[in-house]
A and B are shown apart, each in its own frame.
Chain A
Amino acid sequence: MSDGTGLRSIAVFGGGVTALAAAIAFARALPRSTVTLVAMPIEAAAFADIMPTAWHAVLPILDRLGIDDRTMIATGSAIPSLAWRFDAWSLDGRSWSTVNGPPIPVPCPGPLHQRWLDAVRVGTSLPFHALFPSAVLADSRATTIPAEVEHGLVFDPVSFGNTLAVAARDVGVRMTRAAIAEVDRDDDGSIRSIGLTDGRRMTADLFIDATGPYAGLAIKNGGDEEGRIDWIGALPCDRLLLDRRPGTTTSLIDAYSKTDAGWSARWSDPRGLVHAVGYRAATTDEAHVLRRSPAADPENPPIVLEPGRRRRGWTNNVLALGDASVQPGPLGRGSFTLALAQLDLALDLLPDRTMEPLLIAEYNRRAAACADRMRDFLASFYWTMTGRYGVRPTVENDGPPTTLVATLAQFAQHGTLPHHDDESVNADAWRAVLLGQGIRPRRRDPVAAAVDPVKTRASLEAAAEALRTAVDRLRAAASNGRLAVRR
């Protein structure tokens, strides 16, 4: 490493925002190297590129790339995302929302969710998410948010892509447009050069594959799928129907509900609402779904997704990012978030052109742990449901991953979460899902024994009421229907 072995050239392949973000990140990190972006058409199944969203947890990564969320919102490249709401999805049938950021301060000792459970035991009907400003704001159908309310982002891929392209040029990324004609590899699988359809030949110290599920660089000689772990048994949804409703009312939440075949969702989008229907082909009468779905249209066939991840995202001098590496499925729209997490990890370790195998192994270990934990989180939405649901484990080997089983078991027992290295989802986000889905820990937190639950209930209800009032005031003061982040 170092002193003359640094990366001199990086070639990024891909036509969407994943490739652009990668090019910017590498160009910023290594200003003396040459970064070339080879833009190619985007596949319909390249979810990170066709529908990029950033979960709250990865906004600092965007910030490190020089992408400021307020500017994104102000210029219309993105809207804030406050919550995902789940209707008719939980064990008790109540609607609930995911949460971002910390809860409001409450004058009760110990972990807030344990206090909330105490209050539930003495009869409060307050939902857990009512203690989080982001979720309460979401419930109020607010269209303007104060800057301090924690949120994620939903991007307009075209406008966001244009913004990124400008930023990429600013940091010296060379951009070209071509398709891959041929990949020339060494015996060990590393890429010597890539022949483009226009006759040019690309060489680089590092090749980044951000081409979506096609994974034109990462897949050895165009079809070797040995290196892939299938997640369909854990994330039982591999078809997606999308119906865009441009110009409809803006919403800052994604609303999901269960259907006979899978789920349907109204996704927020800077260009209007998107109606989505997700189901699993193997267990669904597809013709029936297509007949009944307003989204069905011969011009607009279902997108075919393959939830899963490559065993190794980084091999030799090829780094696969985004859907080329991991496809976490459409629920939660986590693809781009995961792409950013991988990119951040790659920049943390940043092997030089010796491509030190131990460092690459460390990248693969941590990237896999991070992806697997996101899989567990997303799988928890499927495996904590009851009721008639087309993707229940009717297929052999289906079921929640063992690490999720352990998480659910521990939470159901004590209301605590197991420790995971490279946990990709924060504890409150996990708790909101598990509690929202109706899981009630069997044991009372022993540390809570000294606290009177009736007083706890009163404190929580008062704090939630104060939060609701504050949100109502904010709505009243909000400019009419216009979206903005108040500074």
Chain B
Amino acid sequence: MAGTNVEPTRVVVLGGGTAGWMTAAALVGLVGSACTVELVESAEIGVVGVGEATLPHLRGFLKTLGIVEAEFMAATHATYKLGIEFCDFAKLGDRYVHPFGTFGRPLGGVDFHHYWLRRRHRSAASPSSRTPAFPIGDYCLGVVAAEQRRFAHPEGDADDPTASYGYAYQFDATRFAPFMSAWAQTRGAKRTEGIVTTVERDDVGDVAALVLADGRRVEGDLFIDCSGFRSLVLGGTMAEPWEDWSHWLPCDRAVAVPSASPGGPIEPFTQATAMSAGWRWRIPLRHRIGNGYVYASRFLDDEGARDALLATLNTPPLAEPRLLRFSAGRRRRSWVGNVVAIGLASGFLEPLESTSIHLVQMAITHLIERFPERVVEAMDRDGFNAAVDADYDRIRDFLILHYHATTRNDSPFWNHMRTMPIPDTLADRIALWRRSAHVPRHGFGLFLEPSWVAVLLGQNIVPEGWDQRADLPDGAALDRALDTLRRSIHDRVAAMPDHAAYLQRATA
């Protein structure tokens, strides 16, 4: 029978962080006997692993591997996440939640936000009227639940805005890689401890083996570079050039520190707060809070960042702050010869929208779709690289939007971000939105229409108009319908349990 007498592809993964062990787990779990997986890591080399917030797609990844949510959450001290709260981005004092879900529901083929825009306009036109324009977040179950620190697993009709929402996890990244490691090793992934000193190449330039400090050679057909920012094989051996995006995303450092849990309610959301030279994250886990300040070293020195971060903590730090250096951009190609880079070895986008693990997951998906039988074919490589490019480009534009759509002029950093030239693809999107309240629709990609609507409105880019059909309902009837929806969402949330209490029950 064709297909079964082929020798398994020998996969060598370099690096045992999140990317490395997710890749190893996915390959042993999904590709099974069509490959062997050997992962080379060294306890001497640290992993980046800061507090990590994720996207709902990770649930699909875990489910495909048959990983039970409660076990995974207990092992990684995870909490639930309904979205990200952005503070001070559009202007100081502003805040909004970008939820994993939509606002309201379409009516007569017209998306909800058009009706909301009309109502907002009506109440602005008559300040004395009794139709206050509630924030659009009031019409999203996930946002309201986040604001009230409540959570329960969604159940019910996915099209019902009073019943449906997406969720993800916030977990301790230093515990995630070991969890995936144990899972992968019990299913046949081989772990090899060692430090790579030389990368051996064959006569066509492909990698033949990794040579370790003690002289051992690890041979393979396909090498997956998960060595982090060092990009040892793709950036080093294969010398794949770096495409720099720091002119759009100038943040190049982060200082990270855990702090004690304050007790009481646990936020089912990640917080991103704009700072004078970047932004800081706050990720609530069960046992502590992850904090970090992502900043541009052009605008702020390390000490200043450290002090600024520590000043925001309202509970004691649990460790010395750690400094991370990076640069926004990616290797021109992620798959060269028989080397595939996944994770930071392939590229970096700051975690403003919690995309780090997602980029790893997408690369794994693209790789499995085009998994080679020992010999790499150019078509597979090109297809993979095109897919990775599309992922990066669309996320990049979405991140730039958060910085660029601002009226902040209180620091050189924000003056730069507000006035810098942006990619044409993003400028076109913003222009279409401003003119028509429409977002270009794409069938796939990470952040689809609802996310763009959430962030565009959240960043105070209010369209000049709305769909003409939103003018059809009688004004008072529209007000009533919106109020009913808002009330039913609030009632629904009021019946949801407290997030911290639910966590204890769900993972007990």
Contact = CB atoms under 8 A, between A and B. Distances in A.
A2 B471 contact: yes
A446 B28 CA distance: 11
Contacts of A299: none
B33 A450 contact: yes
B109 A352 contact: no
A145 B382 CA distance: 45
Contacts of A449: 4, 31-34
A245 interface: no
B160 interface: no
A6 interface: yes
A31 B472 CA distance: 8
Contact of A2 (B3, B379, B444, B467): B467
Interface in B421-436: 428, 431-432, 435-436
Nearest to B35: A446
Contact of B468 (A30, A122, A409, A450): A30
A122 B1 contact: yes
Contact of A1 (B3, B369, B443, B467): B467
A418 B384 CA distance: 11
B435 A359 contact: yes
Contacts of A409: 379
B489 to A, nearest CB: 25
Contacts of A64: 109
Given A362-B440, A421-B444, A453-B1, A1 B468 contact: yes
Interface string B347-390: 00000000000000000000011110100010110010001000
Given A2-B118, A2-B470, A416-B369, A422 B435 contact: no
Interface in B415-473: 428, 431-432, 435-438, 440-444, 463-472
Interface residues of B, number: 46
Determine the interface band of chain A, counting residues with CB < 8 A from chain B: 35 or more
Contacts of B471: 2-3, 6
B465 A2 contact: yes
A366 B397 CA distance: 20
B304 interface: no
A467 interface: no
B443 A29 contact: no
A446 B30 contact: yes
Contact of A410 (B4, B379, B431): B379
A122 B1 CA distance: 7
Contact of B432 (A3, A30, A359, A418): A359
Nearest to B6: A444
A358 B436 contact: yes
A2 B475 CA distance: 14
Nearest to B380: A413
Contact of B109 (A1, A347, A453): A347
A350 interface: yes
Contacts of B437: 1
Given A1-B465, A29-B108, A356-B435, A446 B377 contact: no
A311 interface: no
A443 interface: yes
A362 B472 contact: no
Nearest to B382: A406
B31 A3 contact: no
Interface in B330-362: none
A348 B439 CA distance: 11
Contact of A366 (B118, B368, B441, B463): B441
Given A64-B109, A350-B467, A350-B468, A358 B3 contact: no
B32 A2 contact: no
19 contacts: A1-B436, A1-B437, A2-B465, A2-B466, A2-B468, A3-B471, A6-B468, A32-B472, A358-B432, A358-B435, A362-B438, A413-B377, A414-B370, A423-B443, A443-B373, A444-B34, A446-B32, A446-B35, A447-B31
Interface of B: 1-4, 30-35, 108-109, 118, 121, 368-371, 373, 377, 379-380, 383, 387, 428, 431-432, 435-438, 440-444, 463-472
Given A121-B1, A366-B441, A450-B32, 18 more contacts: A1-B435, A29-B108, A29-B109, A349-B436, A350-B467, A358-B435, A358-B436, A362-B438, A413-B377, A414-B370, A418-B383, A419-B387, A419-B443, A444-B2, A446-B30, A447-B30, A449-B32, A450-B33
State the 6 A-B residue pairs at the shortest beta-carbon distance, nearest first: A1-B465, A444-B3, A6-B468, A2-B465, A446-B31, A449-B34
Interface of A: 1-3, 5-7, 29-32, 64, 121-122, 347-352, 356, 358-359, 362, 365-366, 409-410, 413-414, 416, 418-423, 443-444, 446-447, 449-450, 453
